[in-house]
Amino acid sequence: MSYKKLILVTGGTGMVGSAIQEISLEYSNYNFVFISSKDYDLTNMDSTNSMFLNHTPDYVIHLAACVGGLFKNMNQKVEMFEKNLLINYNVVRCCYLHKIKKMIACLSTCIFPDKITYPINEEMLHDGPPHNSNDAYAYAKRMLEVQCRLYRENHGCNFVCVIPTNIYGKNDNFSLEDGHVLPALINKCHLAKQERADFIVKGTGKPLRQFIYSTDLAKLIMNVLTSDKKIDNITLSVSEEDEVSIENVARNIAKCFDYEDHIVFDSTYSDGQYKKTVSNEKILEFCPDFEFTEIGDGIKSTVEWFMENFDKVRF
């Protein structure tokens, strides 16, 4: 009987981890273990080391992070910075100590510089400070990229950083306070319709974003993990042409709830960074035939999942 190599996924019960779990049956040559924050405290080195000793993985997909939307990033900066520094240091260090064959570490396009030319590519990550609305999270994630790069340079470790754009999909956190913009708007629209109130969107709706459906991201991460090609940093994103405004997203969500006539944009709230357009040239060279889920279809699927699974949705 042939040995199946083990892939350990931190943050394994979150949105992206759940998406990987959903497609894992397509990868019959591997076994998977999905780790949640209830299993191990990754801010603690002893706990993190125990995870590696208990599961002895061959590969690691590192998704675990302290995350949140715009207003959590603005209001809880110390927590966002320190927790992410600890989590990333411990996981990467243990990947080295336990001789992991390949690790995929998940960054985010929100960590790119604020003042920069577009489209942004992987080489521009450290070319200026991030937007001050999410600088704490951004700098912690930038240090994850630095740590992985140094291990590649000094020890030849196969540590790859993937940089996804705004992720959305099933099993997301739909909290109004801490959720990212798209899931928070889904919950907000649902509540507004229940209460027969206006569907209020914070900000003008003008900022532009590239969104990637969680199942698409899971497939791309697995493509990167199982490839023999040498990669360092790679952005996982839809094309520039598929960038959409927050207004577009809100109207798509309202359409799913049949509540299009009740949208109000409250411009007294901050818009955050206006745009963060990234190039997906590198991933298209890597996966030239990959088909991304169209934003309207992805939102429809996410809203359907939200309503069908309301009793277990994370808020």
Give residue 100's region: left, alpha or beta (phi > 0; psi -120 to 50): beta
Question: Token pair for residue 301?
Answer: 């699927």
In 3D space, the residue among 112, 149, 108 whose CA is nearest the CA of residue 127 turns out to be: 112
Helices then strands (H, E): number in the chain?
A: 10, 12
Chain-centre distance of CA 64, in angstroms? 10
Q: Please report, for residues 27, 81, 213, the alpha-carbon distance to residue 17 in angstroms, rounded to integers and kept in the order given.
A: 15, 22, 13
In 3D space, the residue among 51, 237, 29, 10 whose CA is nearest the CA of residue 20 turns out to be: 10
DSSP code, position 172? -
Catalytic residue among 59, 137, 151, 168: 137
Question: Token pair for residue 305?
Answer: 């999942």
| Active site (annotated) includes residue 89 | no
Question: Token pair for residue 132?
Answer: 């001050």
Starting at the edge strand that comes first in sequence, how are the strands of the sheet with 233-236 ordered? 30-34, 5-10, 59-62, 102-106, 159-164, 233-236
Half-sphere exposure of 168 (CA within 13 A, CB side): 32
In 3D space, the residue among 171, 158, 168, 160 whose CA is nearest the CA of residue 21 turns out to be: 171
DSSP code, position 215? H
Half-sphere exposure of 313 (CA within 13 A, CB side): 24
Q: How far apart are CA 169 and CA 186, in angstroms?
A: 11
Mind telling me the catalytic residues? 137
